[in-house]
Chain A
Amino acid sequence: MRRYVSLYASFFRMFLKSILEYRGSFVTLVAAVLLVQGASLATIWVVMSQVPSMNGWSLPEVLLIYGLLIFSRSCTQIFTEYIWNLGSMIRQGEFDRYLVRPINPLFHVLAAGLNFEGLVNFPLGLVLIIGTGRTLGLFASPFNIAYLVVAVASGAVIFFAVNLITATTAFWIIESMPVSAAVFENYLFAHYPLTIFPRGIQFLLTWIIPYGFASFYPAAFLMGRDVGALAWLGPLVAAVLLVLGYRFWLVGLNRYEGAGS
């Protein structure tokens, strides 16, 4: 474990150096991500400042859901979303190199790149959680803070596990990026209270692609809304999904015979 931490630290330093080498590009990218997120946030702000609530949810509550989602995602987005490129690694024969090196191939795939967008979403999500948490008085109780930490960690694992499962399909279909993108896109629903959507979408975001545990259910619980046992299921769902994801990865890895002729 210590060896992998040390290895990742080396990779991370290398990526940071490459970022700093092209500072202009990095600054533009930061501005771009902020503008894209800012567009969504501005829409919520503009409209919600003219209505009493979003079907019973106030502006700070909606922003808490939004913040939890992008913060949870960013925690793994920075380090693990490079796995979306597994398909192109296989297609170009790059993945074969990872198999002959004395480190875990999954670790190697994850460590092959950093997601810059996550570096911007991380502080943005944190600011949203802290800002709305103060407005809503969430930080008065140490229990709430501990609950938030666990909720964010569970959400981060869920994002990683879903990405791992969809990316692993590359061992069968080679180009897995569309699968990852199509599944991931459902996270748009999780930006808002799930109760505004029909039951089918609520079911999808709870039991099939469980992004609801990264945002809506913890926020609802902290706001005192009754979501039953779903308020506590996040860590369990994350653990089960992670185990399933890793097993699926091993099955795919075992059947992999190379993409070449």
Chain B
Amino acid sequence: MNSALVSPRRPSAVNMLGYTALAGMETKTFLVYHWSVVVDLIKNLIATIVFVYFWRALYAQTPAIAGLSLDATLAYVLLARIFQPLGSFMLVSEFGHQMRQGALAHIQLRPLDIQLAYYVQNLASVVVALGRQLPVALVALLVFRLRLPTNPAVWGVFILSALLGRSVLFCFDYILGCVAFYTTSAWGLGFAIFGLSLFVGGGLVPLVMLPDWLRPIVLNTPFAQAFYVPISLLSGVAPLSQAPRLLLIQFLWLLGLAPLSRLVFAVAIRRVTVQGG
């Protein structure tokens, strides 16, 4: 194994230009694949319409489900559609791709901290993806009359929670991505985790509606921390008074997963053999 892979060069100082370039690259990649953007938008709009009418039909014969009114549920569901990229993850397929292309050596040789570099790329990609959600937001606001919170404190707490949650999910994603170093085909795993996260993250149903035996299990997953917690704070499903406790839990998750993800990567990367010049 290449010695550079075992002991990658670490930056002596924060290389801001390098991180900025990585964030810019993410934006360019998005612009190149404009066709997929249009399709994603259509998919998202259709799913949003389906969700709204699905919930309206369910509330046709009941005033509340798990204590949530139709308006509260629709606010949650529409915000979940708009902020869907908060629950996305990508490193399983990214690491798998880098493995197959043999590009892992190049990444290792960059004068940047690998995890921090991926983190910045990840954040930039989520910001770009959130920008792409603008048409969905417009449909939610103009067609389905979504009312956004007016209290600046709610927005402040949401942004903080979204950032913490995203960081938690990134670390979890980083650990999962390491599976790619042990198998030749990791995309199936990525697809499987995506399927799991759809439900467990709260993207399909507000988690307060889950049965009593299932709710505590699901709430204690990185998916719920990354998606359900911020969306429930923004939509009012979780009141502002619960914010300190929820933010503390997210912080503790991050405190545990950040060093663990570094450790797992350091062990897993030793499996990699890059052949050729």
Contact = CB atoms under 8 A, between A and B. Distances in A.
Q: Do A and B come from one complex?
A: yes
Interface of A: 22, 24-25, 28-29, 31-40, 42-43, 46-48, 50-57, 175, 177-178, 181-182, 185-186, 188-189, 191-193, 196-198, 201
A38 B205 CA distance: 13
Given A35-B195, A46-B209, 17 more contacts: A31-B188, A32-B192, A32-B195, A36-B198, A40-B204, A42-B199, A43-B204, A51-B59, A51-B62, A52-B61, A52-B62, A175-B35, A178-B36, A181-B42, A182-B43, A185-B39, A201-B53
A197 B38 contact: no
A173 to B, nearest CB: 10
A175 B211 CA distance: 45
A39 B198 contact: yes
Contacts of B59: 51
A186 B46 contact: yes
A205 to B, nearest CB: 11
Contacts of A39: 195-196, 198-199, 204
Secondary structure call for the B interface? helix
B9 interface: no
A46 B210 contact: yes
B56 interface: yes
A182 B199 contact: no
B153 interface: no
Given A46-B205, A196-B56, A51 B188 contact: no
Secondary structure call for the A interface? helix
Nearest to B66: A50
Interface of B: 35-36, 38-39, 42-43, 46-47, 49-50, 53-54, 56-62, 65-66, 183, 185, 188-189, 191-192, 194-196, 198-199, 204-205, 209-211
**Which of A22, A32, A38, A52 has the most chain B CB atoms inside 10 A of its CB?**
A32
A182 B191 contact: no
Nearest to A190: B50
Nearest to B43: A185
B54 A192 contact: yes
Nearest to A117: B191
Nearest to A189: B50
Contacts of A185: 39, 42-43, 46
A47 B205 contact: yes
Contacts of B196: 35, 39
A192 B50 contact: yes
Contact of B43 (A181, A191, A197): A181
